[in-house]
Structure 1
Amino acid sequence: MDRKKAFTPHLEDVKRKTENIITAVIRDSKYEATQVQNWVDKITHECIDYLQQVNDDFKYVVSVIIMEKKTGGFHLFSTCYWDCDQDGTVTARYDNPGLHVLVTIFGITLD
């Protein structure tokens, strides 16, 4: 396996950078439905820009969920059928008193 063609060695760095992106975009914002699309667009574009710098030989999927923090629970599940040695997924979470943010990134090799 060519490590340069694998996403798995980048998982920790991608998670850390994604958490930093979320924090920079959301900061201490309160949930505002009118702002959600702007936040999602900014987080998504900044993640994709960063991921292309990491390695542009992958296909990336970036999913962003922003929810108002209420008393109800929230569960998110995903599964993939892929090459576990090369492909990978990262989930970054951010919470503040008013909202939850979950960003899931899938990195899939093109080989």
Structure 2
Amino acid sequence: MKRRHSMFEKDSYSHALKERMEDVSYEVVYTQPGYTDEDSKRKIKYANTYRMKPRNKFCAQTVTTRVEQILMDKIQNIAYDKDICKSLSISVTNDILGEVKEMPFDHYKYVVQVIFIEKKEQGTRVCSRSLWDTEWDNCATARCETDKLIAIGIVFAIYYE
């Protein structure tokens, strides 16, 4: 006969859970439309580390260089058109976000903004305001010009614990 563990023993809670879960079977009754088991495998949830500073701090210069390359590749032979620039800004934003997420900066959330402006001999100034921790949060701005178009890409990196 198997002895049951006392609740006063050191590892009794884990043993009690194991005993209770031996005969339990799980059955999925409802899943959200479009949800697959592969979606849950791709998204990894990490436990909170309670780190107050990042191991790899966001480097604006590295990001600015990469954003400039992406912008120049995308706008080389494009004239300003409202509809084209609308769809192009979405695709360029996704490209920049994907590239920045692959960089080795840990514990950052990113906000990417891409602006296309028709070039008609006017001055251009873009500014933004935000409330953040000046020690760890940062932004990178890149500007590329052709004879017909100005493209500005901004990446905001906000540290989260």
With the shorter chain as reference, the TM-score category is 0.7 to 0.9
1:65 and 2:90 equivalent? no
TM-score normalised over the length of structure 1: 0.87
The one-letter code of the counterpart of 2:77 is D
- Alpha-carbon separation, structure 2, partners of 1:56 and 1:39: 28
- The TM-score with structure 2 as length reference comes to 0.62
Q: Which residues of structure 1 form unaligned runs of 5+?
A: none
Task: Name the one with the larger helix percent.
Answer: 1
Q: Is the 8 A contact 2:141 2:152 kept in 1?
A: yes
- Give the structure, 1 or 2, with the largest relative contact order (CA under 8 Å, sep 6 or more): 1
Q: What is the distance in 1 between the residues matched to 2:53 and 2:123?
A: 41
Q: Which of 85, 91, 100 is the equivalent residue of 1:51? A: 100
Q: Percent of aligned pairs with the same residue? A: 27
- 3-state SS of the aligned residue for 1:21? helix
Greater strand share, structure number: 1
- CA offsets 1:2-55 (integer angstroms, 9 cap, x no match): 452532xx2111000000000111113221222102210121011110111113
8 Å CA contact 1:61, 1:106 repeated in 2: yes
Instruction: Give the Cα–Cα distance (whole angstroms) in 2 for the partners of residues 75 and 45 of structure 1.
Output: 24
Q: Compare CA radii of gyration and give the structure with the larger one.
A: 2
User: What's 1:4 paired with?
Assistant: 55
Contact 1:14–1:90, Cα closer than 8 Å, also in 2:
yes
1:89 aligned to 2:139? yes
